Amino acid sequence: MHGCCLLGAAAAAQNSREVILLDSKAQQTELEWISSPSTGWEEISGLDENYTPIRTYQVCQVMESNQNNWLRTNWIEKGDAQRIFVELKFTLRDCNSLPGVVGTCKETFNLYYQETDAEVGRNIRESQYVKIDTIAADESFTQGDLGERKMKLNTELRIIGPLSRRGFYLAFQDVGACIALVSVKVYYKKCWSIIENLATFPDTVTGSEFSSLVEVEGTCVSDAEEEADNSPKMHCSAEGEWLVPIGKCICKAGFHQKGDACEPCGRGFYKSSSQDLQCSRCPAHSYNDREGSWRCDCEDGYYRALSDPPAVTCTRPPSAPQNLVYNINQTTVSLEWSSPADNGGRNDVTYRIMCRRCGWEPEECLPCGGNVGYLPAQSGLVDAYVTITDLLAHANYTFEVEAVNGVSDLSRTQRLFASVSIATSQAAPSQVSELIKEKVQQRSVQLSWQEPEQPNGVITEYEIKYYEKVSHRIYSTVKSKSTSATVNNLKPSTAYVFQIRAFTAAGYGTFGPRLEVTTKEEPSGTAEQNPVIIIAVVAVAGTIILVFMVFGFIIGRRYALAVKFPGTKTYIDPETYEDPNRAVHQFAKELDASCIKIERVIGAGEFGEVCSGRLKLPGKRDVPVAIKTLKVGYTEKQRRDFLCEASIMGQFDHPNVVHLEGVVTRGEFPGVRTARFTSPSSITQTSSLFSGKPVMIVIEYMENGSLDAFLRKHDGQFTVIQLVGMLRGIAAGMRYLSDMGYVHRDLAARNILVNSNLVCKVSDFGLSRVIDDDPEAVYTTTGGKIPVRWTATEAIQYRKFTSSSDVWSYGIVMWEVMSYGERPYWDMSNQDVIKAIEEGYRLPAPMDCPPGLHQLMLDCWQKDRADRPKFDQIVGILDKMIRNPNTLKTPLGTCTRPISPLLDQNTPDFATFRSVGDWLEAIKMERYNDNFTATGYSSLESVARMTIEDVMSLGITLVGHQKKIMSSIQTMRAQMLHLHGTGVQV
């Protein structure tokens, strides 16, 4: 048997998988197969078992021997088939039932085929046929059967292949049997197109072998895609059955499987990935209004972070952190807060800090920059606290704490943050970075240095420590108030190591870098070897100093101008110079006008404009300066008076006294002729700048101008420590001036200047005539003009101006500072002030003023000047307060020193007001009428009992208005007490 195998009848093919090439039963007309010899096979019409007409071939030459009857089918084109099934149905007569056929009758026949590419002729050449099999009947029938037409039908199936030609013939060889070929069916098998696992597999012809499986690639149905690395395949078996599916297709994102197809997800549903089986409903705060979506869009105000899968809820930025509290320790601020009320629906909330350094105006804030440190970090903070270090001392900062989550940066809505504005307090000064040896002797070394880059306050002292380099002999220290010092009593030819640190009210800074200096060799035979000489020298020097001191003291008392103590500079009255020009040039440096660049006008002085500009001295950096000018057409006396201030100022050198850079008195002003010096157009042509003979006083620039205006501008914005720091500076400046024997006579906040670091410096120097220029000064009965409100009683009464009368004025400055520039004694007349003071009344404590400070003011206003503290003591007291800030704590509004009934005829008489409304109108605060009535303050008596908290609780938020109302209430209260005869004397 070639290429075929036998299958039992039970394995009959299932029709659905068959492609029929020939079915003799289906043909109604004659089959017209070739029969050879023609006496053999005979075509006969008959009926099948269902009585359907069929065409059959029969032969029954059983009686004769050597039969060889061939029957050949028509040519069968095989198409795609490789493996052909041949199903034969036939009946066969049992030889035993035939009499007399023994030896000739057969019970089998043979089946052949011949492959060809086309039809061939009608001749049958046996040799060209290939035998498929000898077919025997399973059942044969007998005569009786035939008579009853109960033919026993045999079905045999044979398979041929693989076939290689286009077609073939089948042939049946009868060798002497009695056969009826009832039907011949020829077919092959196919696996029919199928959709399996969302892949379409096309019609596939089975393989040529019984065992072969044909591998077929599937194609994904629409909106489906192959699963990664798992493309769909199936195997078509020889039986036309699909077997062994491998891999699959899956519905794309946005589609889900329904039967053998992918359908889009409906509206409000999404499927983000082909891996997901089902469409899901849009998560919270998201939506979609299209079909077939792979994700849903977030509602307005909600977002999805890049890393958020489409399945998670849309979220939003968190709300602001809550309960932000801070703690300041010098220049370190720690912030703590609690988590936001709404985390936006996420659990990845972190915090970030925004630091801005502010000027005194809110719009003057700038980012802090990289010098500030954040612990543990500036952003990405998981815990609700941070420590911010390396801030500047005495500076205003605003910190914003923002809670952020994964969608904060996507949100276009306004940032929400908690913020605090903080003023840093004092910090020790930074290092003195460079120490220079100016002069090295055998036994002394002169050193100089620059102020540290961040003084963080007023440097009152430097400390130089030194030791012998080799022996490391015990440290010694030397102190200096200026930026140079001479260290004496050193050993000759010895290497010393020097270090320096600065001191402010906040304490010592750290020591700067070491400087090594070796003292000079001592020439032989010097005093060191001769103690007798030393003793003699010391004795002579001591005598000279003693004589000098005694002489100086006598002269000093009489003329108030000579040396007080050796080594301590004393102020010299320029009026004592016959030639005032000499005085100027003794104390003030003559500057070349070409070094000065005027930029703008900043104020008006008695003698001309005050401008700001820059001074560039050869070999030095240019510095900002204030330039006081003398107006054009000045008289010689005016020139002298103008320059007198420079002669005085030039004698002073203290961080709390305004520093004179120099004067311009000589020569022509280059800018008049050349373009090198550009004067701003705002300078009036009446200035001496345009006279060709300019006269100028150049002073260090004080960015914040005069203290009174500065405080009024920043009402309520400073901490008590900051205010006390300012007062400490003024007191230190005054201590210096009084130590030099200079009496200011016009100490007032308007005559104090403030720089950008909040350092206050005493200014406005002159002789008595300066007071004449003071708009506050009025003529008194004792002659001359006096700024009454600032002046001590004895100075008003008999012009006794001393450092003690300056102390009185200092007390008034304290009051001005603590009340943010309030006018002393408000709108009382000068006469009433004098009278009230005479009667023993004193200014009450300003709002929020620590009692200790008010006590110090009262001490400054002691009637007997000997009872007043000295500036030295004042500095000491303030230093103590600064070091122990607890002593400065005053609960808000509780600073209720007894109120002095400082009455004045011009003060509103509260008895004349009929209602609270009348009173508010009189103090121009009628806008708050409703606030008072709504909270039940309907009578003036109830108003008079109000505290600052009560006023604030009415919803009056402006500090200026709170103060105005409180101040009037205090006066009202005083007047009521007075009316009832219970005025309190302080």
Note if 806 is an active site residue.
no
Taking the least distance from each CB to ligand AMP, the nearer of 105 and 626 is 626
The 589-608 contact track toward ligand AMP, x by CB under 6 A, reads -------------xx-x---
Site for ligand AMP in 612-631 (CB under 6 A): 626
Taking the least distance from each CB to ligand AMP, the nearer of 152 and 614 is 614
H/E stretch holding 463 reads: strand 461-468
End-to-end alpha-carbon separation of the chain, Å? 141
Taking the least distance from each CB to ligand AMP, the nearer of 397 and 765 is 765
Contact (CB, 8 A) for 610 and 625: no
Taking the least distance from each CB to ligand AMP, the nearer of 272 and 763 is 763
Instruction: For residue 254, give every residue at least 6 positions away whose Cβ sits within 8 Å of its Cβ, in sequence order, or none.
Output: 264, 265, 270, 271, 292, 293, 294
Q: Which of 22, 221, 427, 658 binds ligand AMP (CB under 6 A)?
A: 658
Contact region for ligand AMP (CB under 6 A) — 217-225, 701-709, 888-896, 931-939? 701-709
Smallest separation, CB 665 to ligand AMP (Å): 18
Judged by CB under 6 A, does residue 764 bind ligand AMP?
yes
457 known ligand binder:
no
Smallest separation, CB 702 to ligand AMP (Å): 4
Helices (H) and strands (E) in the chain, counts: 18, 53
Contact region for ligand AMP (CB under 6 A) — 307-315, 695-703, 837-845, 872-880? 695-703
Smallest separation, CB 608 to ligand AMP (Å): 9
Q: In whole angstroms, what separates CA 480 from the centre of its chain?
A: 45
Taking the least distance from each CB to ligand AMP, the nearer of 705 and 898 is 705
Dihedral Cα 569, 573, 574, 578, nearest 10 deg: -110
- CB-based burial of residue 457 (10 Å sphere; 0-12 exposed, 13-18 middle, 19+ buried)? buried
Taking the least distance from each CB to ligand AMP, the nearer of 78 and 750 is 750
The Cα–Cα gap between 447 and 353 comes to 44
Which one from 746, 764, 774, 832 is the annotated catalytic residue?
Answer: 746
Q: Which of 701, 801, 808, 820 binds ligand AMP (CB under 6 A)?
A: 701
Judged by CB under 6 A, does residue 706 bind ligand AMP?
yes
Taking the least distance from each CB to ligand AMP, the nearer of 113 and 642 is 642
Judged by CB under 6 A, does residue 302 bind ligand AMP?
no
Judged by CB under 6 A, does residue 610 bind ligand AMP?
yes
Judged by CB under 6 A, does residue 908 bind ligand AMP?
no
Contact (CB, 8 A) for 373 and 390: yes
Judged by CB under 6 A, does residue 954 bind ligand AMP?
no
**Phi, psi of 503, rounded to the nearest 5 degrees:** -125, 135
607 known ligand binder:
yes
User: 497: which 2 tokens?
Assistant: 């190591």
Judged by CB under 6 A, does residue 767 bind ligand AMP?
no
609 known ligand binder:
yes
Residues in the chain: 986
Taking the least distance from each CB to ligand AMP, the nearer of 355 and 749 is 749
Cis ω on the peptide bond leading into residue 523 (within 30° of 0)? no
The Cα–Cα gap between 24 and 27 comes to 5
604 known ligand binder:
yes
Task: Give Cα separations from 32 to 42, 61, 73, 346, 472 (angstroms).
Answer: 10, 21, 8, 87, 137
Instruction: For residue 45, give every residue at least 6 positions away whose Cβ sits within 8 Å of its Cβ, in sequence order, or none.
Output: 53, 54, 55, 56
Contact region for ligand AMP (CB under 6 A) — 17-25, 202-210, 242-250, 699-707? 699-707
Long-range contacts of 242-248 (CB under 8 A, 24+ apart): 242/191, 242/194, 242/196, 242/201, 243/213, 244/213, 245/196, 245/197, 247/197, 247/199, 247/218, 248/197, 248/198, 248/199
Smallest separation, CB 752 to ligand AMP (Å): 10
Q: In whole angstroms, what separates CA 780 from the centre of its chain?
A: 62
Judged by CB under 6 A, does residue 702 bind ligand AMP?
yes
Best CA proximity match to 372, nearest among 390, 387, 355: 390
Smallest separation, CB 983 to ligand AMP (Å): 37
602 known ligand binder:
yes
Smallest separation, CB 655 to ligand AMP (Å): 14
Long-range contacts of 33-39 (CB under 8 A, 24+ apart): 33/57, 33/71, 33/72, 33/73, 33/74, 34/70, 34/71, 34/72, 34/122, 34/124, 35/69, 35/70, 35/71, 36/69, 36/70, 36/71, 36/72, 36/123, 36/124, 37/69, 39/69
305 known ligand binder:
no
Smallest separation, CB 652 to ligand AMP (Å): 13
Residue where the block lists tokens 């903070």: 381
Taking the least distance from each CB to ligand AMP, the nearer of 23 and 700 is 700
Taking the least distance from each CB to ligand AMP, the nearer of 18 and 645 is 645
Smallest separation, CB 605 to ligand AMP (Å): 3
Best CA proximity match to 623, nearest among 564, 701, 739: 701
- CB-based burial of residue 720 (10 Å sphere; 0-12 exposed, 13-18 middle, 19+ buried)? middle
Site for ligand AMP in 404-463 (CB under 6 A): none
Judged by CB under 6 A, does residue 588 bind ligand AMP?
no
CA R_g for the chain: 59
Best CA proximity match to 41, nearest among 109, 128, 95: 109
608 known ligand binder:
yes
Residue count at the site for ligand AMP (CB under 6 A)? 14
605 known ligand binder:
yes
Q: Which of 699, 731, 834, 969 binds ligand AMP (CB under 6 A)?
A: 699
Site for ligand AMP in 714-753 (CB under 6 A): 753
Smallest separation, CB 708 to ligand AMP (Å): 9
Smallest separation, CB 631 to ligand AMP (Å): 12
- CB-based burial of residue 331 (10 Å sphere; 0-12 exposed, 13-18 middle, 19+ buried)? buried
Q: Which residues are annotated as a binding site?
A: 602-610, 628
Q: What is the set of active-site residues?
A: 746
Site residues (CB under 6 A) for ligand AMP?
A: 602-603, 605, 610, 626, 658, 699, 701-702, 705-706, 753, 763-764
Q: Which residues are annotated as a binding site for ATP?
A: 602-610, 628
